[in-house]
Each structure stands twice: as C-alpha cells, then as structure tokens.
Structure 1
Amino acid sequence: MLIAKITESDFFGGEPQYIDDDARYNTRGVMTDGEGNIAMMKIEDSEYYKLPGGSIEITETPDKAFLREVTEETGYPAELLGYLGWIEEHKFKRKFCMVSHCYVAKKVSDKCDTAMLERSQERLGYKIEWMPYDEAVSRIKALSEQCKEYQMSFVLKREQLILEKAKEYIVK
C-alpha cells in the first residue's frame, strides 16, 4: 500500500515531477519499547532526528532488512509488529527515486549490544534517543516546518508520514 509520493513540489511549490527510471530501495520504520516510547536516531551537533533504517541488501527481503537495520543502528534485537506500506521520494534535483518500505517493530530485549553504524552514520554522530511517541511526532513536525535543506526536507517529511501511520501500533 502506497503511503505517499513526496516530490520537490511539497517543499518548493510547482507541479510534481516524478522519476520513473532510477529507483533505490530502502527500509525504514519505528521501533517501540512496548511502553509508548520510540527509538529516534539523533544526528550529533544538529537538531535533527531520523528513524532507524537503511538499504536493502540484494539477498534480503524488506522485512528482514528492516530488522537488521534497526538492530544495527540501535543495538537492540526486535520483532516486527506490522508493515505500514511504502513511501516514494522523487528527488528530481538528484535524479533518483527512493522507495522506502516502512515497518513497526518492538524491541524484544533490554540487552543492548553495541550499535554497528556505517561510516557515514558514525561521521554524523548517530546516537539513539528513546522518547515518547507524541514528543517524537512534535519534534519531527517542528523541524520539518523550519527546514530549508533539500535532503533533510525529504527525510523529515518521510519520517513524519511514517510516525503518523505507525500511531495505532504505539499509542494504546
């Protein structure tokens, strides 16, 4: 189920432009602790947050990739609670479309292993922060409203859509 198609027109106006010939596939989502808190990845030395997720390896299904990514980034093993759908980010300026399969998972243990971040994530200083669902939504929404950066505009819009879609799994 398609959640949304995000285009440059969402931020800069004009007619939506779509990329049909260069897609990259990703997996993203929300990990809860089962008590209404979710894992947010804080980008050090900035006010920005993102949800865990990343690329789908050639040998993986999107759900397996999400569980691998969420465990690598947070250090916690998780189980899937549900599939939310996918989001397309049509980045006309960059000439590609990012397709993100979106999930909700729950950590299955309080034992945290060391996060295994990619080099680019280490350079950005990713750190996990647990926060109540409503706080995560309000932070992402506020950041999205004031964001002027091209790439981060797409990220924040995507994260906001995922959080809204995941609400039924988090808020009891």
Structure 2
Amino acid sequence: MKRVDVAYVLLTDAKNERILMVKNTGENSSYYTLPGGAVEYGETLQKAAMREVKEETGLEVKVEGIFSVMEAFFEERNHHAVFFTFLGNIVGGEINISFPKEIEEVTWMDIDLAERFLHLPMEVRGILNKSAPYTLRGNVEHNK
C-alpha cells in the first residue's frame, strides 16, 4: 500500500462563522473538502498546503500550526493517506478556479454545514483557534 501525505488548510472568515471549502470533481459524484492536496516529493507539508490553496482557490495563505492529523485507507487506490490540516490566514489573491476539471466551486460555507464534510471527531466551532505547533527541523544528520 502506498503512503500519500495530503496537506489541507482551514480558513475561516473574520467572525469564524464560515469556512472556505472547495467542491472537487469525483469519478462518481462531486464532494466538498478543505482546499489542499498531495504533498510532492521533496516538498514540506507547509509549502504543499500553501501551494495547493493557491492552485485550487487563487488565494495566497500563510499557514500556522497543525489543526488536525487524520488518516484513511483507500482500498480502490491502494493508498494509505495521512491528512495534515493547518490553520491559515488569507494574505492575498482573489478567488479563482485555475483547474475547472478538478475544482467545480470555491465557496464560503456556514460552519454547521461544513462540519458534515470535514470528518472531524468533534465540533469545529469550539476548537477553531486552537492548534499544535508545526516545526520544520530541516535536514538532520546523525553521526555514526
């Protein structure tokens, strides 16, 4: 089974009432997720998260700590996916769909509705501003 790392960003409006969601085109049906996607070889989780948001939404973001880590097994793809979700803030850009074959819609969704698509183990509203730190240690060499 292949391990796939996926980086998402949780972006809320100023009042923490709405979450930015993207509607992905699926094989059988479309589905909503946070903006994000697969981490490329040699790319940090943080860089992947910011790149994916820019590609999917047109927005430039700054990411902060880790909001959640989840994993799932996709038997049909033979993938073991690990999902890293960062908290983030929009720092520039405008909503624009660059890949209309992959992304059908970018929308600000009410938190109560978005919670149904986020697959989080608890209500989002109470934990929106809480995160664990994310640190890139860089290249580590251990002396033999």
Normalising to structure 1: TM-score of the pair? Answer: 0.60
SS where residue 115 of structure 1 aligns?
Answer: coil
Matches within 5 A, 1:74-85: 74-85=57-68
Which residue in the other structure is 2:108 paired with?
A: 130
| 24, 27, 30: which one aligns with 2:4 | 24
Is 1:39 the counterpart of 2:20? The answer is yes
Asked if structure 1 preserves the Cα contact closer than 8 Å seen for 2:9 and 2:63, the reply is no
Question: How far apart are the structure 2 equivalents of 1:105 and 1:126?
Answer: 22
| Contact persistence 1:32–1:170 (CA under 8 A) | no
Counterparts of 2:8 and 2:123, CA distance in 1? 14
Q: Which residue of 1 aligns with 2:44?
A: 61
The CA deviation at 1:73 is 0.9
Letter in 2 for 1:28: Y
Which amino acid is 2:94 matched to? C
Task: Quote how far apart the aligned CAs of 1:167 are.
Answer: 4.8
Size of the aligned set, in residue pairs, is: 127
CA RMSD of aligned residues (A): 3.0
| CA apart distance, 1:42 | 2.2
Q: Percent identity?
A: 28
TM-score, structure 2 as length reference: 0.70
Q: Alpha-carbon deviation of 1:87? A: 1.5
What is the Cα deviation at residue 134 of structure 1?
2.2
How far did 1:34 drift?
2.8
Match for residue 90 of structure 1? 73
Alignment of 1:79-158 (within 5 A): 79-109=62-92, 111-112=93-94, 114-117=96-99, 122-137=100-115, 140=116, 156=117
Kindly provide the amino acid, as one letter, of the partner of residue 98 in structure 2: M
The gaps in structure 2 that reach 5 residues or longer are 131-144
Report the secondary structure of 2:128's partner residue: helix
Long gaps (5+) in structure 1? 1-20, 141-155
